[in-house]
């Protein structure tokens, strides 16, 4: 997939405010500071399409980007940021799950995991909940430039093992670095394949009703 055009559309406080879901969509989620916005910038070859910050909690709304005029990419706020108030965390959690469950054009949710750490409870719980709700997701291990390859693959292996305690199958997994531009082509090809296979929800419903 070649990135021909990128356009920031809108930041929405709730799924109800998002652009009409008339195009296929992928979204990026994960703990605060894991590198969601950086990954979007790396993939699109734009320095500042999505706002990046070294302090966690930078992205606070549902941010829609129009890519190649034929699909939406969505930058979401991080979950599990300890430094915001309990009330705000509750609001974000509700907003995120509302978005994930109600957005019918969402083809996959990229869940970003920091490759520097052993499996974190919060990530495992989040992914397991997606599985329970049958929401399609893809894992991206980020910041692979920060540790040795050996450590990264150990952490990825441990994460897989955790998932296999609950699930028979593993999701698609990428290992990436925004700094080294690792896995850029692979992730873009994967997104393009999803987009090309997109069937709008209303057509899917018609088909299954027949």
Q: Which residues bind Mg ion (CB under 5 A)?
A: 36-37, 58-59
* Cβ nearer to Mg ion, comparing 133 with 146: 146
Choose one: 26-34, 64-72, 86-94, 121-129; the region binding ligand GTP (CB under 6 A).
26-34
Task: Kindly tell me which residue out of 6, 44, 59, 105 binds ligand GTP, with binding defined by CB under 6 A.
Answer: 59
> Which partner, ligand GTP, Mg ion, none, binds residue 54 by CB below 5 to 8 Å per kind?
ligand GTP
> Which partner, ligand GTP, Mg ion, none, binds residue 107 by CB below 5 to 8 Å per kind?
none
> Which partner, Mg ion, ligand GTP, none, binds residue 178 by CB below 5 to 8 Å per kind?
ligand GTP
Cβ neighbours of 116 (radius 10 Å): 14
Within 8 A by CB and 6+ apart from 41, the residues are 47, 48, 49, 50, 52, 178
Start-to-end Cα distance in the chain? 34
Choose one: 34-42, 63-71, 166-174, 190-198; the region binding ligand GTP (CB under 6 A).
34-42
- Burial zone of 193 (CB within 10 Å; 0-12 exposed, 13-18 middle, 19+ buried): exposed
Number of H helices, E strands in the chain: 6, 7
Least distance in angstroms from the C-beta of 28 to Mg ion: 8
Does residue number 36 form part of the binding site for ligand GTP (CB under 6 A)? yes
CB-side neighbour CA atoms (13 Å) of 123: 27
Q: Which of 162, 97, 107, 170 is nearest to 139 (CA)?
A: 170
> Which partner, ligand GTP, Mg ion, none, binds residue 184 by CB below 5 to 8 Å per kind?
none
* Cβ nearer to Mg ion, comparing 58 with 184: 58
Helices (H), the chain: 36-44, 86-102, 121-132, 149-164, 184-196, 201-209
* Cβ nearer to Mg ion, comparing 31 with 58: 58
Q: Which residues bind ligand GTP (CB under 6 A)?
A: 30, 32-38, 52-54, 56-59, 77-78, 142-143, 145-146, 177-179
């Amino acid at each position: 997939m070649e990135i021909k055009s990128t356009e920031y559309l809108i930041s929405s406080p709730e799924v109800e405010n998002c652009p009409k879901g008339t195009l296929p969509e992928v979204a990026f989620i994960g703990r605060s500071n894991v590198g969601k916005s950086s990954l979007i910038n790396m993939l699109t070859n734009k320095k500042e399409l999505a706002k990046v910050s070294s302090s966690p909690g930078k992205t606070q709304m549902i941010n829609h980007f129009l890519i190649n005029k034929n699909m939406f990419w969505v930058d979401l706020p991080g979950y599990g940021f300890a430094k915001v108030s309990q009330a705000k965390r509750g609001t974000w959690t509700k907003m995120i799950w509302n978005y994930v469950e109600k957005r019918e054009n969402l083809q996959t949710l990229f869940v970003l995991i920091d490759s520097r750490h052993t499996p974190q409870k919060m990530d495992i719980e989040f992914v397991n909940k997606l599985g329970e709700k049958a929401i399609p997701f893809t894992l991206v291990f980020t910041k692979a430039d920060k540790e040795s390859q050996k450590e990264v693959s150990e952490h990825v292996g441990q994460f897989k093992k955790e998932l296999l305690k609950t699930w028979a199958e593993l999701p698609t997994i990428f290992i990436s670095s925004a700094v080294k531009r690792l896995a850029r082509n692979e992730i873009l090809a994967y997104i393009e394949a999803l987009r090309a296979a997109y069937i709008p929800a209303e057509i899917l419903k018609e088909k299954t009703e027949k």
